[in-house]
Amino acid sequence: MASSSGSVALAEKLQGLNGLFAIYKKKGPTSADVLNLLKNKLLKEAGIKQHPMKRKKQVLKLGHGGTLDSAASGVLGKKRWGLKAKVVGIGKGTKMLSGMLSCSKKYTTVGEFGKATDTFDALGTVTEVQSYDHITKDDLESTLKKFRGNIMQTPPIYSALKQNGQRLSCLVKKGEAVEAKPARPVVVFSLSVQDYNPPCFTLNVECGGGFYVRSLVNDLGKELSSCAHVKELIRTKQGPFTLDEHALQEEKWTIVEIVKAVESGVQLIPSEVACKKLKMDSQDDSEQVKEAT
């Protein structure tokens, strides 16, 4: 067991941290779940007790740059199909997270032709079945041209976007009427086929903020006279933080490792000019910075 003086030193080191770092988010828990797990681990290691109801007097401030899908994994940054690398802000670093939302993100996704779901992913209920035998790899690669650059995209109904202050996904689950959000401008910097083994296909995507890979796959199926949904989704990069190089696995969620990661992050954080930015609505609820409770 650590000495009292050692615990005090750890607590001071933890509370003095300000910056950004990346963690690995596994498939299953939501981004909020992961952030709270991280926070509890750090507080326990430092011997700090935090009253769960005193949000305004948090002794440790953590936030993440956008929600990862719970079925996703990767750099913590989105909620339903999360990043395998998720960018986390600590202390005053939480104020820097909004800048990460303007930077590009990279995903690897596996889609499946022939079945559409209400959520546009494998967690949903199948709503349509179509033939996919006519789709060749050349057809797929040719159709991707329509989804590169500055395009218009309609967000999924099952999303973190809000209607009357409540998430659309929550309203749908309650059986309440939900209005689909209008198509909005998004940007796709690169989009390519990594593999095609019908009915499944693997895509590499680099995009800006506010982009939904689920919508891309759903729209791609329609464009090819079939239907499709996302089977797997991994975020491999958010801004300068990559899954392979920078995302801390859960066994490294310690104060010492996070101190190192924050120090390294200072060298990685790009300038405002260096980020690939989107002219997106600043009130995009799907990409807002989230804080741990």
**Max CA-CA distance within the chain?**
69
Residue 69 appears among annotated catalytic residues: yes
Percentage of residues of the chain with pLDDT beyond 70: 69
| Fold of domain 106-238 | Pseudouridine synthase (3.30.2350)
pLDDT of residue 273: 36
pLDDT, tens digit (0-9, with 9 covering 90-100), for 162-192: 455 555 545 455 555 566 667 899 999 999 9
Catalytic residue among 69, 195, 219, 285: 69
- In the block, tokens 């690939």 appear at 276
Task: Take residue 264 and report the two structure tokens written for it.
Answer: 């390294």
Instruction: Tell me the average pLDDT across 10-35.
Output: 82
SS3 of residue 27 by DSSP: coil
Mean pLDDT of all residues belonging to the chain: 78
- d(Cα 76, Cα 70) in Å, to the nearest integer? 11
Answer yes or no: is pLDDT of 287 > 60: no
Q: Which residue has the higher pLDDT, 71 or 15?
A: 15
Which of the residue ranges 3-7, 139-143, 171-175, 178-182 would you say has the lowest mean pLDDT?
171-175
Q: Are 141 and 147 within 8 A, CB to CB?
A: no
Instruction: Tell me the average pLDDT across 138-167.
Output: 82
Q: Which residue has the higher pLDDT, 150 or 48?
A: 150
Nearest of 174, 80, 175 to residue 119 by alpha carbon: 80
Phi and psi torsions of 195, nearest 5° = -160, 150
Where along the chain do the CATH 3.30.2350.10 domains lie?
Answer: 106-238
- d(Cα 160, Cα 255) in Å, to the nearest integer? 31
- d(Cα 161, Cα 169) in Å, to the nearest integer? 8
Confidence of residue 123 (pLDDT cuts 50, 70, 90): confident
Backbone CA torsion sign across 47, 53, 58, 63: positive
pLDDT of residue 289: 40
Q: What one-character DSSP code corresponds to residue 194?
A: E
Q: Are 175 and 138 within 8 A, CB to CB?
A: no
Q: Which long-range contacts (CB under 8 A, 24 or more apart) does 264-267 make?
A: 264/21, 265/19, 265/20, 265/21, 265/22, 265/241, 266/19
Answer yes or no: is pLDDT of 256 > 70: yes
- The pTM score is 0.74
Answer yes or no: is pLDDT of 243 > 50: yes
Which residues are registered as beta bridge partners of 128?
116
- d(Cα 237, Cα 78) in Å, to the nearest integer? 12
Find all residues with CB under 8 Å of 89, minimum gap 6, and list them. Answer: 19, 20, 62, 63, 64, 65, 95, 96, 97, 289
- d(Cα 68, Cα 85) in Å, to the nearest integer? 10
pLDDT of residue 223: 98
